[in-house]
A and B are shown apart, each in its own frame.
Chain A
């Protein structure tokens, strides 16, 4: 046999295979970050020695600049590394946090925040009211082009400043006119355009956080990098490897550091849901915060690690009222949708079938919700067909636009089948997000008959949701314009008393979904958030309606 060379080759092959399989046995659960020993502890156990957890946030936070951040991942991290003026308690009422007191004047037009004495930045500087004035004006400034600048429009002069065109107007003067003023080092005075009962609550939003002026001016766009950033909250940003990992550690000099138990929170950014679940099951991650893929939910639902929270959001289909003009057809289409079935079989996270537009969890929900006769949980095909028959000249060929994220496809397919029974043939047009947004305008592209969107609340008041359907709303792609509706909303903006306001909201919902409802929108369900949490943190890792988690409250048990 020509043995030698042959065996040489075989040896090479075996060696290579051995190299490849070299990880055999030596490797334990992926050790890239100091993870917790994933023990399935009992409830109410004692504190573990190592108070470290690994969380999957799901995406790379696009920005940790409070002025620019507009997504939940950034919001979550920001709210834990910075100190907001107010925070929301379990009932979502604002409580003073970095602010010692918050006072609203008699007429509701002036809000005064008085800061605590012990606020500091990580570099030793004290946090002052001037910091807040600078930050809020910066967010509204036209140069920054902040998405959330509109949150400040309730403040006198803010909208003007934000719309300033540097070529024509004197923007510096407009900045001065914006009514946010640091009366002294500890007092911040804000003047509102109208009384807004929700303003204080809104101040809990991350866009109202303060930034450290010198840092921003020194590093410009890069001020949020881990090496440069200066923060003032319970945790500090220790490491941020873009698209890979983001780690925060406890800041021992925070004013309330004694009650913070966690020493470190490692963040992963696994976007793909299935991959994230695998990472959890392999012990590499302790909490999946970013939602589970619906298809995995039936399998995971009964496991002890499964967790579900109510969200503040509505999943809906908007109807182009200029294309589908007969309100009876819209009502029929609403009736035909088998909401509960979709929830049970497609969305699979125990969402709540929508009976109006304002979601469950919103204060005043019971008063506001119209319990629309056209939005029954199970759908009512009988009645839908009857109603459809009454339509004089129905539009039987419609386009249904969705963006191409996985869940939406399945839901669209289910609804497409339902409408088929009404004699409506729907063509599902799937587009990727940007294309989609362009198509929707407003005003929407002529080809759009029905489109899918979801609306998540920014703050906890129904106006946030109901103002979408006003004539001028930049998020109203239905061509729906009803002066009566607009009037109700306007009135509500001015009404301070909660109950009175809820009544107005109820009126608005009636206009949309009541017996004589216009039905420009077909709400489908109210969001829930799903996740997986190890039993050692399950009790204390709580996510509120706005999808936020307060890491100062999390404790790892044995």
Chain B
């Protein structure tokens, strides 16, 4: 396993970055008082010091507490939406790709049209229509509602290729039922690809949720990463020189996205050996 990691540096880097993040969150939640993430808990606008390692923001939140409390929330939205998206996407993709015909035409049509529409905008429309403040769970569901589009399309094309393989033909001739073929012959072969798609979907979901939050459409009470960015923008933190306020979330978001990105690239290489870097 370690030998493989050496040949697949992207995967290694991705795993390292995400592990660091996990460590931060776990250790943080055990050691830091997360009630300090609520507004008016501490003195406002303090630069980093021993009392407040990441400093404090304008509404009197301890930023370390905010990061520790908020990061898992953002990640949770991403994971939930990503999983739901890929789950639905896989089911639809296999149905469309294996059975073809009108079912395929319909599913593919919907996915194609859906992909032309910028997801963020539709999400904005949905978020604005749903009155009242959003909770973290509602955010996840809203993001999930569009998260299945891309996975459906990409998994479907893989299914189409697999369908023509010899062993599928043999299974069909042996009288295996459609669902059985899908579950026992095709799915196991696609697992690496599905894993890569999942990570990709999670990354996209986090991006979408952070985007919504930056616009002010997120769960306003929660200390998620995106909401922090929103407050930063709202209070013109950059122009005012409160560098510590935006440094922490920026770094953490960077690590999240870079980690997920390298993980995706690494998994892509596992799924498709031809992508391996040539000498």
| A associates with B | no
Interface residues of B (CB under 8 A from A): none
